[in-house]
A and B are shown apart, each in its own frame.
Chain A
Amino acid sequence: RKEVEQDPGPFNVPEGATVAFNCTYSNSASQSFFWYRQDCRKEPKLLMSVYSSGNEDGRFTAQLNRASQYISLLIRDSKLSDSATYLCVVNTAGGYNKLIFGAGTRLAVHP
């Protein structure tokens, strides 16, 4: 079983739609969590960290459920520019900053 699992998609949605991605992780001792965005043929870039209390950044909302070991990302009012692959990332326990990347969920927003 992979340490971080995501639905690969693709999610094909129209502009303005709300879309949600989920991610599960296997290591219950994992300490910190992130969503990264990766555009085609580009490097991953941090989208947002995920806090236990949940956090919001504009149209993006991230949630963490430690009991069920899953993380979610909600995108409201989707834009064409949101089309990318969204990577769920978990920092392994121990403070060594060894990030485990999920395989990513592809999002395609169409007009």
Chain B
Amino acid sequence: EADIYQTPRYLVIGTGKKITLECSQTMGHDKMYWYQQDPGMELHLIHYSYGVNSTEKGDLSSESTVSRIRTEHFPLTLESARPSHTSQYLCASIGLGETQYFGPGTRLLVL
């Protein structure tokens, strides 16, 4: 089992609130990723990082932001949540090999 964690697992929040989705991994991986996935749909890469102080936007435009101050931690923030942000957010990391390990995901519902 991969040691990658996400909190909260489920979040229901009102429009306009600021939220931070946490992602941590204890494997010492440099590369970390955030994906957004709607039910029954494909994963879309929204952010990635190749190491501390490195962040890049992914293929899908997102109003979220990320930071990478520590290797093990890659939080995603939405400054003002909207119903269109309702989705599942999956965090992942890659180590020396190419296997991408995923966290269990955060299911976000914005009312």
A98 touches B45 (CB 8 A): yes
Q: Which residues of B contact A97 (CB under 8 A)?
A: 31, 94, 98, 100
B84 within 8 A of A: no
Q: Number of contact residues on A: which range applies?
A: 10 to 19
Q: Number of contact residues on B: which range applies?
A: 10 to 19
Stretch at the interface among B12-20, B64-72, B75-83, B101-109: B101-109
Chain B contact residues: helix, strand, loop or mixed:
strand
- Against B, the Cβ 8 Å flags (1 = close, 0 = not) of A54-80 are 000000000000000000000000000
A91 within 8 A of B: yes
Given contacts A96-B50, A103-B42, contact A46 B99 (CB under 8 A): yes
Q: Which residues of A contact B45 (CB under 8 A)?
A: 98-99
A49 within 8 A of B: yes
What are 22 A-B residue pairs whose CB atoms fall within 8 Å in the complex?
A32-B98, A34-B98, A43-B90, A43-B102, A43-B104, A43-B105, A44-B102, A45-B102, A46-B100, A87-B42, A89-B100, A96-B50, A97-B94, A97-B98, A98-B45, A98-B48, A99-B100, A101-B35, A101-B43, A102-B42, A103-B41, A103-B42
